[in-house]
Amino acid sequence: MGVPLIQSYRVGRYILAQKLRGRKRYPLVLMLEPLFRCNLACAGCGKIDYPDETLDQRLSVEECIGAAEECGAPIVSIAGGEPLIHKDMPAVVAGLVERKRFVYLCTNALLLKKRMDDYQPSPYLTFSVHLDGNEHRHDESVCQPGTYQRAADAIREAVAKGFRVTVNCTLFQGEGAEEVASFLDECKALDVEGVTISPGFNYERAPQQEVFIQRRASRQLFRDIFRIGKERKAKWTFNQSSLFLDFLAGNQNYQCTPWGNPTRNIFGWQKPCYLLVSEGYAQSFNELMETTPWDKYGVGVNGKCDQCQVHSGFEPTAVNDTFIHPLRALKVALLGPRTEGPMAPDMPVSPPPQGPSHPVFPLRVER
């Protein structure tokens, strides 16, 4: 099953309306983080090391709904932390669905079976389950054995009950293309709607930095994955635009669109994106859009951004390019990303800043 027609239609209509109004910057997905508390302690996570007084904070139902109304994006991705820990999450989801927002409730699925009856199947609600590869890879990534099987069981039950379900996968250092291809076969067998897949990049607060894959290596990895898929004639379904997948394979040269997926969390509206935790916060969405120095971020512009291929930054760029070059996007959708030949020339990385007070941090994909 692909993305429901109603979602494709409403999101496309929204983007077209922004373009007709001449808006240069507009949000596509609200990244809502109503808490940082989690029931896992993943090696690549930058949230769990906050002090308890921060981990105990929650956005209220009113603050969550207000952020969606203030932002106006047609899609809301609710992450964390683990959203199912939030006791008011059913009310948050119900309020967003009532307002016709397409909600992706991101979860490690450890609590999904227990909390599933708090929600109703709807074309506006998707459980986005975090699985970082096959059973061995995933359990190693989240630092707890048995989590893959628990998540897979919850996925089967949710699908059987009529819920939309996707898999959210982050690839780390040491991944093999054959291994990832087999994992995508497993996702297909689970009958999920699609897979959102991205390479992991260093998050400043992550306790283990060595697990993250670098930009050049990730492009070759994705080429190898897509090549295997073509050879197998695998019908993998990705919950991403065709041109973003083409970008991952090194065939497109995109710059980041950080305002496309703005983040609202317990501290406020994060500048410029949820990966850069030290750039400050705005107290309103308008303040975020008007006061963030957007031109100071991006590959080749800011050293913190040079290794980034994060979905939340580059997917909006690919979506915009799809509207500009629909035939190119259709060709990639039909034939898949090109897996041979020269890659698109990458943007030159920015020179390292001078002085000890300006460390350069590559980035990662938050789950």
How many folded domains does the chain comprise? 1
CATH, residue 78:
3.20.20.70
Domain ranges, residue 27 = 5-335
Instruction: Enter the DSSP assignment of 249.
Output: T
Domain assignment present for residue 27? The answer is yes
Domain assignment present for residue 353? The answer is no
State how beta strands 194-199 and 164-171 pair: parallel
pLDDT of residue 348: 66
Domain assignment present for residue 105? The answer is yes
Can you tell me whether residue 265 is helix, strand or coil? strand
For the whole model, what pTM was predicted?
0.90
How far is residue 131's CA from residue 171's CA, in Å, rounded to a whole number?
10
Domain assignment present for residue 198? The answer is yes
Can you tell me whether residue 96 is helix, strand or coil? helix
pLDDT of residue 274: 86
Per-residue pLDDT of the chain (367 residues; tens, 9 = 90+): 468 889 999 999 999 999 999 999 999 999 999 999 998 877 667 676 788 899 999 999 999 999 999 999 999 999 988 999 999 999 999 999 999 999 999 999 999 999 999 999 999 999 999 998 899 888 888 888 999 999 999 999 999 999 999 999 988 778 899 999 999 999 999 999 999 998 876 544 444 444 446 777 889 999 999 999 999 999 999 999 999 999 999 999 999 999 999 999 999 999 999 888 889 999 999 999 999 999 999 988 988 888 888 888 999 999 999 999 999 999 999 999 999 999 998 766 655 544 444 333 333 333 3
Domain assignment present for residue 134? The answer is yes
Among 60, 129, 125, CA closest to 96: 125
